[in-house]
Each structure stands twice: as C-alpha cells, then as structure tokens.
Amino acid sequence: MTQDRPAIPAAMRREVLEEAGYACAVPSCRSTPVEIAHIEPWSKVQAHTFDNLIALCPNHHTRFDVERRIPAASVHRWKANLALLNGRYSDLERRLLEEAVDAPENVAWPVHSSLSLLLKHLLEDGIISRVGLNQPNISFNGRKQEIFVAITPKGREFLRRWQNAEPLYE
C-alpha cells in the first residue's frame, strides 16, 4: 500500500458492506469478517468507486488479489448478482438461498405461514415451492401455522449459476 492511496470514504465502505450483507460476497462462503477488495486493482484504477469494490473474507481476498486464483470476471459477476438479489428478494429470501447453497437437495424448510409473504418472489419465480404433508391450514388456535418450502429444480439451477458466477437470469 502506497502513501498516496487515500482511504475508502466511510459512506462508500458502508454501502459495499451493506450490499454484501456484511458477509463475504462469494456465494458459497458468506463468512465474516470481511475486507473491502478492489475488483480491478488499485494500481490500475487509482480510484475508489462503488462499482469496483466488493466485500470479501480475508481468505477470498488473498485468493483473488494475491494468488490470482479467482478471475476478475467472476468477481464482477458476483457483484452484479448481489445487486440483482438485493433488488428482487427480501432478507428472508436471501438467507434461504444462502442456506440452500450448502444444503442437501431433499431439505425442506419450515416457515411460519405469516412469513410466506416475505418469500413471495422466490415462490413466484419458481425457485422454491411449498411442499409436504403439512399444507397451509388457516387456523387461529396456534396450530398448523407452519408451511414447508423446498428448492425446485429451477431453483437448483439458479443456485448453480449464482455459485459459478454466471448471470442469474437468462
């Protein structure tokens, strides 16, 4: 790091961290803590711009920046996909996708029926579907208020694209 490299402005840092949910932007990682990485190297761009900054854990930062084992194109795509995910899906939906990346295919998640609105876009997009014996059953006595959702085959393909740094939508 040279002396003439200014610090990343605090507001921009926060925006970059928020974009990635304060976790590593690599979909299969999502670990904390995170550092801010320049996608195109500082030595080349000599500027801090939001579009060129991404949150990475120290491991992935080193693999990308120092060891050059991750192509910049993949990191650009992860960044673009984060923007898509943040724009379209709720926090609950994004957390479900993160869980699903590492989960076996036959897993179904219980969700309280009052939260199903927060899963609206994943359901609409066919990425998850309601499953199981426990069909939603309107009840006011505190029972049978759980629904179960699972990743569909289309959702598997979506997760595969996300992990492999491919465009999320065709």
- Which parts of this chain interact with Zn ion (CB under 5 A)? 24, 26, 29, 57, 60
Output the smallest distance, CB 138 to Zn ion, in A: 42
CA–CA separation, 32 vs 11, rounded Å?
Answer: 20
From CA 149, how far away is CA 139, in angstroms rounded?
Answer: 19
For residue 121, give the amino acid letter.
Answer: H
Report, in Å, the least distance between residue 150 CB and Zn ion: 26
Q: Any idea which residue has 């609950």 for tokens?
A: 92
CA dihedral 52, 57, 63, 65 (to 10 degrees): 30
Minimum CB separation from Zn ion for residue 149, in Å?
27
Q: Which is nearer to Zn ion, 24 or 165 (CB)?
A: 24
Cβ closest to Zn ion, residue 12 vs residue 29: 29
Q: Given the complex with Zn ion, which of 24 and 111 has the nearer CB atom?
A: 24
Nearer to Zn ion, 19 or 127 (CB): 19
Task: Evaluate whether 107 touches 150 at the Cβ level (below 8 Å).
Answer: yes
